[in-house]
Chains A and B, each alone.
Chain A
């Protein structure tokens, strides 16, 4: 008899087929795989797309004049802002703190003089950025207004090189100012973490719980064949989810991909593998599906909270950053944002690639130690 422990492609294919068949019949899981990305994207998408109008706005008029007045009028006309009144500079903080106004626009002393000289006077806008997604539309309108209001009124020689005013936006309460664009890469990472770890976490425990593991163990299938055979369908699912998210965000929210798409998919693949090895390790440690689920959430929570998805990473305390730096999601967020929004290349992203590789390797080592080849 020949060698027996070699990897058999035929057996591996058999396991792959079985997994796909079971997945096809498991409506709930299948629904989760397609449903989670869509629902999450729509939920967050509303936040991205929500374009609230009539945001209460106060004006600090330190230098009243025709331009300031027409700017304020234009703001009101844009329908994004609802001017609640003119206030004293000292009241501004109070009003913002209490949430009575969302914006305070300040025309500093000497505004008209500088504008006439073409010096681009500062126009200070303080925004309540606790909900940065909601602010997006209003803030972009402010820029437009500046061009419309200030530029046409000026004589040709005094028309400044753009910009006519120096629009300074202070995002209060959320200095990082997570913008709409930040959500999509973040969502991609979160959805992949959740579905990949959860699904594979259940993959082995389900066999054990249903008693089919005993049958599987009594066949010549090797652990490597079983594990990789079980993983492949989820890799494909992960890639599908990412495609779904990218397409939807492109079509619905018009978010472009600035960097290389193949590089993005390569990085997604790496991230998927990191999560799958973790899921498989969970499922070989866990005794039943419930335990595996608990482990998944034990991992999922810090991933959401400490990766920079929820809170700005730089603003977190040192210990939280240290934990965050271990998590693959932290690095994937940086990578995905880099590729999607800044068009970064691999060289620039490398500092975030190797920690994911290291994580995967370490988990794999633990996983292969804990995989049970018997029923003991």
Chain B
């Protein structure tokens, strides 16, 4: 567990106008690790990733990426990083093959033609190589973008919501690939909104309003919140969540499939509230270990402003 750090930054700040978008971000990612980056929309994930690869200059703070200074050495960091943007940013008016070829040229990939052909075959796009990238479906665009940032065999992958809009099979293949890469020593920092993906990461960080609220392994994050969770199952569950949320001691209530989860930090208060509210109903309730999702929904409901940046 004492692998050297691929990313080690502290005190990073970024403002857009008077919006404080990233606040005192401190992040340590070990080499070969898959690090998940979570947080609601607008919490500053994309901005943080851009700070790490030198696309934005931090207002203050410092740190290293692959042992190089994030502010001064961004030109030396870039060749070793594969950055997949959240929004498709390959060229719509170039064909699939031309896009890959261009990226390969930019990174000076050795044996370029072979690398491009192999990537096309791995993607299963060899027969559509001349199709313009702009005419691909959303999921295929994601897969092409991912392939393009793997072309130059980077040491660090920064993936900004790489699987948004990708079908389940391709998503599973993608995560297989990520674990494979990680096993070979490549560090991966990936932002996502999917819980199953978060659970596949070695370690996680949770960002809200530009602030790092929690970080560590999934178990560490869950246990650090000291949540007690009850699962409520039975018929006529609809409408119950809003009732439960009003109860003292219930900090989070949400539907999970055919059941409801209610969580809170005060175990005794939670239990008495639930028992009182559910008395007389033919519902079954049982304590369960809180899941990562319980933890994140709890974190999200706790953050004051899920949409905008910071309010002073």
Contact surface of A with B, Cβ cutoff 8 Å: 1, 4-5, 8, 10-11, 13-14, 17-18, 21-22, 25-26, 210-222, 374-376
B residues neighboring A (CB under 8 Å): 50, 53-57, 75-76, 78-79, 81, 83, 85, 87-94, 98, 101-103, 105-108, 132
- Assembly CA distance A13 to B53 (angstroms): 25
B50 contacts A219, C-beta separation under 8 Å: no
Q: CB distance B93 to A17 under 8 Å?
A: no
Is B106 a contact of A220 with CB atoms below 8 Å?
yes
Question: In the complex the two chains form, is B57's CB within 8 Å of A376's CB?
Answer: yes
Q: Cβ of A25: which chain B residues have Cβ within 8 Å of it?
A: 93, 132
| Contact flag A374-B56 (CB < 8 Å), given A18-B94, A210-B92, A215-B89 | yes
A4, A216, A219, A374: the one within 8 Å of B57 (CB): A374
CA distance A185 to B307 in the complex (A): 59
Instruction: List residues of chain B with CB within 8 A of the CB of A222.
Output: 75
Whether the pair A4, B79 counts as a contact (CB closer than 8 A) is yes
CB < 8 Å neighbour of B78 from A18, A26, A220: A220
Contact of A214 with B55 at beta-carbon distance under 8 Å, contacts A18-B94, A21-B94 already known: yes
Would you call A219 and B106 a contact (CB within 8 A)? yes
The closest CB in chain B to the CB of A26 belongs to: B93
> Would you call B55 and A212 a contact (CB within 8 A)?
no
Give me the 9 closest cross-chain CB pairs, A-B, nearest first.
A14-B105, A219-B106, A215-B89, A218-B83, A220-B79, A211-B89, A220-B78, A25-B93, A375-B55
User: What is the bound-complex CA distance between A222 and B78, given in angstroms?
Assistant: 11
Given contacts A4-B76, A18-B91, A219-B103, contact A374 B108 (CB under 8 A): no
Indicate the member of B75, B93, B94, B101 with the most A CB atoms within 10 Å: B93
A221 touches B106 (CB 8 A): yes
Could you tell me the distance between the alpha carbons of A212 and B98 in the complex, rounded to whole angstroms? 14
Report Cα–Cα, A352/B93, bound state, in Å.
41
User: Are B55 and A22 in contact, CB atoms less than 8 angstroms apart?
Assistant: no
Chain B: CB-nearest residue to A222: B75
Q: CB-CB < 8 A to A376: which residues of B?
A: 56-57
Which residues of chain B come closer than 8 Å to A8, judged between CB atoms? Answer: 108
- Tell me the minimal C-beta distance from B67 to chain A in angstroms: 11
Cα(A131)–Cα(B75), bound, Å: 60
Please indicate the chain A residues that have their CB under 8 angstroms from the CB of B83 in the complex.
Answer: 218
B85, A215: Cβ atoms under 8 Å? Answer: yes
Q: Which chain B residues border A11 with CB–CB below 8 Å?
A: 105-106, 108
- Say yes or no: A374-B54 contact (C-beta < 8 A), given A5-B75, A14-B102, A18-B102: yes
Contacts A4-B76, A212-B91; A10 near B53 (Cβ below 8 A): no
What separation, in Å, do the CA atoms of A22 and B107 have in the docked complex?
A: 20
User: CB distance A4 to B75 under 8 Å?
Assistant: yes
B55 touches A217 (CB 8 A): yes
Residue of B nearest to A25 (CB): B93
Distance in Å: Cβ of B52 to nearest Cβ of chain A: 11
Task: Report Cα–Cα, A115/B231, bound state, in Å.
Answer: 123
CB of B85 within 8 A of CB of A214, answer yes
* Sample of 19 further A-B pairs with CB below 8 A, known A218-B85, A222-B75: A8-B108, A14-B106, A21-B93, A21-B98, A26-B93, A210-B91, A210-B92, A211-B85, A212-B90, A212-B91, A214-B55, A216-B106, A218-B53, A218-B55, A218-B81, A221-B106, A374-B54, A374-B57, A376-B56
A212 to B83, CA, bound (A): 13
Q: What is the minimal beta-carbon distance from B115 to any residue of chain A, in angstroms?
A: 14
Interface hub of A8, A14, A218, A219 (most chain B Cβ within 10 A): A218
Q: Which residues of A contact B55 (CB under 8 A)?
A: 214, 217-218, 374-375
Give the CA-CA distance A17 to B88 in the complex, in Å: 21
Residues from chain B with a CB closer than 8 A to the CB of A13 are 105
**How far is B87's CA from A211's CA once the two chains are assembled, in angstroms?**
7
Contact partner of A218 (CB less than 8 A), chosen from B78, B88, B101, is B78
Does the CB pair A1–B88 fall under 8 Å?
no
Complex alpha-carbon distance, A21 and B92, angstroms:
12
Is A10 a contact partner of B105 (Cβ separation < 8 A)?
yes
* CB-defined contacts of B98 to chain A, threshold 8 Å: 18, 21
Q: A4-B76, A5-B75, A374-B54 are in contact. Are A214 and B106 (CB under 8 A)?
A: no
Q: How far is the CB of A206 from chain B (nearest CB, A)?
A: 10
Bound Cα distance from A195 to B251, whole angstroms:
63
Out of B76, B91, B101, B107, name the residue touching A219 (CB < 8 Å). B107
Candidate in A5, A17, A26 with the most chain B CB atoms within 10 angstroms: A17
Chain B, residue nearest A5 (CB): B75
User: A375 to B56, Cβ gap below 8 A?
Assistant: yes
CB contacts (< 8 Å) of B89 on chain A: these are 210-215
**A24 to chain B: closest residue by CB:** B93
